[in-house]
Amino acid sequence: MKIGLLLKELHRDENDLARELLGAAERHRVDHEIYHLGRDLAGWSQDHVRVLAGLGERFGVRLDPQPAAEQGAGERLREKAGELLGRRPQTALLLLRDLREVYVKASGVSVDWEMLGQAAQGIKDGDLLAAVRTCHPDTLRQIRWANGKLKESATQILVG
């Protein structure tokens, strides 16, 4: 069985998504919606990391239950510089890039959850299937949020 490999990949991808959301939240901290929602959505991915770590042992994989941490000092300095820039045009373009990156990463995580769901059905593993049914909808909401923010912001930023 290769389910352990998929769990390892999904664990890594959820951590990457959490880091991306936290980074975007920090870079755009002057935009309260991006800041607060980004941090909340990152928390969902961090919860998923814990769930996956709990499942890994059964499939021969040791996964760290500690999710992606806040960024380091160097990253915080860059974020502070972004905060000082405020709402300059460059910052607006950075927002579009960040939202695009969140959308792409969350879409990849969604595919991972889909594959895990198929595997869980194939081996008739109720615990694995329950994890998919709990976590995957969160990922779909992360995708919808990033897509909605892109649609809301793109015209104003690119045409304005």
Angstrom distance (rounded) from CA 140 to CA 150: 15
Q: Hey, what are 101's tokens? A: 């990156």
pTM equals 0.88
Contact status, residue 117 vs residue 129, Cβ threshold 8 Å: yes
Q: How does DSSP classify residue 87?
A: T
In this predicted structure, what is the pLDDT of residue 73? Answer: 44
CATH number at residue 52: 1.20.1260.10
Per-residue confidence of the chain (160 residues) as pLDDT tens digits?
799 999 999 999 999 999 999 999 999 999 999 999 999 999 999 999 999 999 999 999 999 999 977 655 445 555 555 555 445 557 889 999 999 999 999 999 999 999 999 999 999 999 999 999 999 999 999 999 999 999 999 988 888 7
CB 17 within 8 A of CB 142: yes
Helices (H), 1-160: 3-27, 32-56, 73-85, 89-123, 126-159
Task: Please tell me the total count of domains within the chain.
Answer: 1
Residue 132 belongs to what domain range?
Answer: 3-159
Task: Give the Cα separation of 43 and 21 in Å (integer).
Answer: 9
Q: What is the pLDDT of residue 152?
A: 93
